Amino acid sequence: MVSETIELRGHIIDSLILPKVLDQILTHGANFKIGEIKIGERRADQSFARIEVSAETSEALDELVLRLRQHGAEVIERANVQLASAPADGVFPSDFYVTTNQQTFIRFDGKEIEVRPAMINSAIALDRKKESARAVKFFDVNKGNEIVVGHQGVRVVPVQRSTTHTDIFQFINTVVDADEPKSAIIRELGEELRRAQTAKRKIAIVAGPAIVRTGAADHLVRLIEAGYVDRLFAGNSFVAYDVEHTLFGTSLGMNPDLAFTRGGHENHLRAINTIREAGGIFAAVRKKILTRGVMYACVLHDVDIVLTGAIRDEGPIPGVTTDIIEAQKVMRQKLADVTHVMMLATVQHSLAVASMLAPAAKTVCVDIDPAAVERVVEHQPLQSIGLVTDVEPFLRELADCLSESRVRE
């Protein structure tokens, strides 16, 4: 029987940290003994617990403590991280520490260094000279880089539920189902976006083709015009639908104003061809080929456009990053300072974005498929709102809210 003492700090009860830690201990067949527990008497107070964890073998204890750390447990004796060199470009040492999407610190040379940027499913590379640490993907690492191995000296600080309910994200944190009301939440979301805009935070949209197909492009344009969109993440097909709709008034040959005829792919491909011939979105705006629509609004209002490719793409439209590793690099950079993300009707792209967000970013996911919403929202459980609904009325209502609130001012 071996044991180690861990400590938990913060809102460990109402952020479910203590229960999760105890649950993990029991699930792993280990035992615990609570040495001390102090629970904050008032909302804003921090709580504290010291727990002795014991397991059969030191391997089992090690494995368990690794998990507990990911829930924010700290081991008492503060040791430095262990490091190993990357054996080749793009390869980590075999026992590399795998990051979570929580704020993370490493202890090196007796000092704590915050891992910046933090990102899920990465290794941690230490820059000994600069005394800095960053989350690295396979493509970031070069032979010889110093990478954290094991879990000693790593401290994780889970996002904790705020004790002062200032915004909607801390108030609710689950999925609003199809048969539940959404108007009040959309209104609150509007308020949150207004505050974010005033505070010059960065708001991003991840946009799926259904926005254009359902006739919601105009609503998104209103958000862009009102300054509520700083970055637009989309795929090749979103752009193709937007351009087709702008040039021909159709989506896959279907007229959204009547929806009575279902056409083919001709207009879709011609739209792509037109943009390729023009030399890209910006050129098409400059040449007055594109005079309406979401992409036009983005160009006009300096929205940063981040376009990435997928295996089903036609084209591609110039400006789309077709190599997915390159695309991930660009996305990661463009997401680094984003504080609010609305993920609209595009599950794969949303999951990719969600895996690159900073620990504190707030997300809203809208999709008509409840399973899709669940999967996206899981990524950031305490800062995400999921709405199971049609994207068109959602965007209409949000754009209405935000124009009203403008008028009110």
Within positions 297 to 356, which residues make up the interface with a copy of itself, using CB under 8 A? 308-316, 322-325, 327-328, 331, 345, 348-349, 351-352, 355
Strand partners, 124: 135
106: its two tokens? 């490493």
Strands 384-388, 175-176: parallel, antiparallel or unpaired by DSSP? parallel
> In whole angstroms, what is the distance from residue 34 CA to residue 196 CA?
42
Minimum distance from residue 175 beta carbon to a copy of itself (Å): 10
Minimum distance from residue 263 beta carbon to a copy of itself (Å): 8
> In whole angstroms, what is the distance from residue 108 CA to residue 112 CA?
6
Asked if 293 is part of the footprint of a copy of itself (rule: CB under 8 A), the reply reads no
Nearer to a copy of itself (CB atom), residue 19 or residue 144: 19
290: its two tokens? 């594109």
Strand partners, 157: 103
Nearer to a copy of itself (CB atom), residue 79 or residue 178: 178
Q: Which of the residues 350 through 409 are near a copy of itself (CB under 8 A)? A: 351-352, 355, 368-371, 388-390, 392-393, 396-397
> How big is the CA angle at 268 (ends 265 and 269), to the nearest 5 degrees?
85
Asked if 290 is part of the footprint of a copy of itself (rule: CB under 8 A), the reply reads no
User: HSE-up of 381 (CA within 13 Å, CB side)?
Assistant: 10
Nearer to a copy of itself (CB atom), residue 81 or residue 331: 331
In Å, how far are 18, 159, 208, 242, 298 from 343, measured between CA atoms?
Answer: 31, 21, 8, 17, 17
Please report how the helices 391-408 and 217-225 are oriented relative to each other, as an axis angle in degrees rounded to 10.
30
Nearer to a copy of itself (CB atom), residue 131 or residue 174: 174
Sheet order of strands, 123-127 included: 82-85, 146-149, 123-127, 132-136
Choice from 5, 7, 37, 50 touching a copy of itself (CB under 8 A): 37
Minimum distance from residue 131 beta carbon to a copy of itself (Å): 26
Nearer to a copy of itself (CB atom), residue 121 or residue 300: 121
Nearer to a copy of itself (CB atom), residue 1 or residue 199: 1
Minimum distance from residue 337 beta carbon to a copy of itself (Å): 20
Helix (H) or strand (E) holding 170: helix 168-171
Q: Which of the residues 78 through 117 are near a copy of itself (CB under 8 A)? A: 87-88, 90-92, 94, 96, 98, 100
303 within 8 A of 224, measured Cβ to Cβ: yes
Nearer to a copy of itself (CB atom), residue 238 or residue 296: 238
Asked if 181 is part of the footprint of a copy of itself (rule: CB under 8 A), the reply reads yes
- DSSP 3-state assignment of 126? strand
212: its two tokens? 């254009």
Nearer to a copy of itself (CB atom), residue 203 or residue 236: 236
Q: Which of the residues 199 through 238 are near a copy of itself (CB under 8 A)? A: 209-210, 213-215
> In whole angstroms, what is the distance from residue 324 CA to residue 339 CA?
24
Minimum distance from residue 352 beta carbon to a copy of itself (Å): 4
Q: Which of the residues 119 through 178 are near a copy of itself (CB under 8 A)? A: 120-121, 137-138, 163, 171-172, 176, 178
Minimum distance from residue 166 beta carbon to a copy of itself (Å): 13
Asked if 44 is part of the footprint of a copy of itself (rule: CB under 8 A), the reply reads no
